[in-house]
């Protein structure tokens, strides 16, 4: 960089775009930096939900977003961990609690001591030493305590469209400018982006461009050195089906991730419904096959519409020249392999009530 950054353009959609804009505006807006979002069409459907790690609370604190708004506006629930079943043959389910690692002696983490104990006959499961896992089992949420020897935090299940709307309102009220448009062209100068041309003909210049378009890679995908590296060889699931089920009562303190032969399902409870996700390998099972088996896979009746979309597991260079890429950094497990925009086909909707056997 040869001069001071004065204008930042964020190109993308949904929570990634508005998270990036809110963070930059909160951190640098007071220095006179102008932040503008070029908002692409949403990729979200009414059935979508975000499942987040505890670190999201730190992000909200830094930008000044009150936690209570998540519960009142986004139908959010706090969760203390993730429960995994059917991933290890006949082994019982286990919970990964959202613990904050405690200091251990001899420079070793607790895991090493537990493994040593197992080798010497210890029969207590690892999760029994986890504050987060025990809270999740009891349907409780741990409250982080600074001076406690063992500590745990909690993540959230959040309605995706409501959360995006909340972030957009928060960012724009904080001074972020926005415009809804498609990107028609990208002008480059060497290894940097000089400007983008929008679908209405407007030319947008900025000192820094942030690509928050996820798998679409609207900006960074046109740059040399940002080729996509597919992980399909190791992550075979290339399709995702998302639906909803009734709200659970009482609310569990965890999300449920269950494996089946062709993929996995996830249950993510919200206040008013339960988000149901199935990721699978289309070479082994069809969309209709998953739809027909969804209630059995989830062990919960589903209702309403189901949405099927493509997945593109992989990685591309995060920063090239004078722009950055921000994908779905919320680290949601249910969407670890991002919704594919490279398939060039819209999501397909299925009426679940008609498709599933009674």
Distance CA 75, CA 12 (A): 24
pLDDT tens column, 12-39: 999 999 999 999 999 988 888 999 999 9
Q: Give me the percent of the chain exceeding a pLDDT of 90.
A: 60
For the CA atoms of 162, 165, 171, 172, the dihedral, rounded to the nearest 10 degrees, stands at: -160
Of the chain, the percentage scoring pLDDT greater than 70 comes to 85
Please state the pTM of the whole predicted model: 0.84
| pLDDT band, residue 329 (cuts 50/70/90) | very low
Q: What is the mean pLDDT of residues 296-300?
A: 90
Report pLDDT for 321.
52
pLDDT band at residue 312 using 50, 70 and 90 as cut-offs = confident
**How high is the pLDDT of residue 104?**
58
pLDDT at 354 over 70: no
Residues 184-194 pLDDT 10s? 999 988 878 89
Regarding beta strands 263-269 and 229-230, do their DSSP bridges make them parallel or antiparallel, or are they unpaired? unpaired
272 pLDDT higher than 60: yes
Average pLDDT of span 319-335: 40
Domain boundaries, the chain: 7-77+158-230+316-335
Q: Does position 80 have pLDDT exceeding 60, yes or no?
A: yes
Domain 7-77+158-230+316-335's class? alpha beta
pLDDT band at 341 (very low <50, low <70, confident <90, very high): very low
| Integer angstrom CA distances of residue 188 from 116, 191, 207, 352 | 56, 7, 12, 46
CA-to-CA distance for 336 and 315, rounded, in angstroms? 12
Could you read off the pLDDT of 273-292 as tens digits, one per residue? 999 999 999 999 999 999 99
Q: What value does the mean pLDDT of the chain take?
A: 84
Please give the backbone phi and psi of residue 77, each rounded to the nearest 5 degrees, phi first.
Answer: -130, 140
Q: Residues in the chain, how many?
A: 358
């Amino acid at each position: 960089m040869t001069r001071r950054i004065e204008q930042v353009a964020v190109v993308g959609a949904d929570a990634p775009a508005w998270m990036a804009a809110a963070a930059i505006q909160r951190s640098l807006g007071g220095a006179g930096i102008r932040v503008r979002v070029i908002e692409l069409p949403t990729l979200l459907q009414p059935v979508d939900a975000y499942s987040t790690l505890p670190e999201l609370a730190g992000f909200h604190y830094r930008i000044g977003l009150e936690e209570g708004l998540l519960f009142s506006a986004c139908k959010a629930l706090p969760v203390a961990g993730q429960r995994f079943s059917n991933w290890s043959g006949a082994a019982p389910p286990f919970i990964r609690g959202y613990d904050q690692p405690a200091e251990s002696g001899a420079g070793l983490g607790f895991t090493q001591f537990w493994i040593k104990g197992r080798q010497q006959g210890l029969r207590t499961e690892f999760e029994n030493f986890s504050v987060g896992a025990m809270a999740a089992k009891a349907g409780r949420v741990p409250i982080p305590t600074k001076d406690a020897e063992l500590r745990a935090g909690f993540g959230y299940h959040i309605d995706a469209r409501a959360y995006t709307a909340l972030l957009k309102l928060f960012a724009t009220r904080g001074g972020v400018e926005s415009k809804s448009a498609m990107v028609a062209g990208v002008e480059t100068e060497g290894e940097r982006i000089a400007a983008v041309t929008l679908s209405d003909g407007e030319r947008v210049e900025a000192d820094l461009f942030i690509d928050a378009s996820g798998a679409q890679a609207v900006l960074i995908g046109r740059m040399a050195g940002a080729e996509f590296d597919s992980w399909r060889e190791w992550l075979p699931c290339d399709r995702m089906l998302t639906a909803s089920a009734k709200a659970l009562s009482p609310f569990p303190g965890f999300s449920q991730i269950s494996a089946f032969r062709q993929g996995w399902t996830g249950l993510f409870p919200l206040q008013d419904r339960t988000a149901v996700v199935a990721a699978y390998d289309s070479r082994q099972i069809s969309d209709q096959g998953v739809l027909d088996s969804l209630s059995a896979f989830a062990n919960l009746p589903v209702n309403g519409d189901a949405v099927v979309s493509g997945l593109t597991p992989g990685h591309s260079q995060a920063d090239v020249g004078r722009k950055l890429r921000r994908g779905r950094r919320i680290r949601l497990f249910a969407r670890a392999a991002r919704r594919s925009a490279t398939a060039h086909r819209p999501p397909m909707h299925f009426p679940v009530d008609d498709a599933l056997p009674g």
